Structure 1
Amino acid sequence: MSHDLSLAQSHAFHLCNDLMVPVTLFKSGGEFGVLPSDELDDKDDLEIVHEFFPWPAH
């Protein structure tokens, strides 16, 4: 499962930086998923693993 987590983290990191928006890595039903953070709802039954933020602009 650690391989699945590292793959999900990599995808979340790249999605965050491609879209330049915060994204949330979550677990639901034994699977990992990634969504832009503003698309998550408090009613969703998700285990939040980590939230990624885009790099600050220089």
Structure 2
Amino acid sequence: MPLSLAQSYAWNLARTMMACIVIFKINEQIFGVAEAREYDGDPLSIVREYDPWEIM
């Protein structure tokens, strides 16, 4: 998914689930979203982390 959609989706998930969500880069134009504790990929591919406790 594009970055703008991933950011919107990640923010919404973080606020709804009250869990840390990360956006990670799959390739130049594709990004993924996952719960931080479930993400086991390369830490260098993480673009942004949404922590609902810091957003509030």
Higher strand share: 1
User: 1:40 and 1:34 mapped to 2: Cα distance?
Assistant: 9
Identical pairs, percent: 42
Q: CA deviation at 1:8?
A: 0.7
Count of residues in Structure 1 that have an aligned counterpart in Structure 2? 52
In the TM superposition, structure 1's runs of 4+ consecutive aligned residues that sit over 4 Å from their partners are: none
TM-score (norm 1): 0.75
RMSD of equivalent CA atoms: 2.0
Larger Rg: 1
Deviations 1:13-55 (A, max 9, x none): 00010100000001113421100000012xx246110000114
- Unpaired stretches in structure 2, ≥5 consecutive residues: none
TM-score (norm 2): 0.77
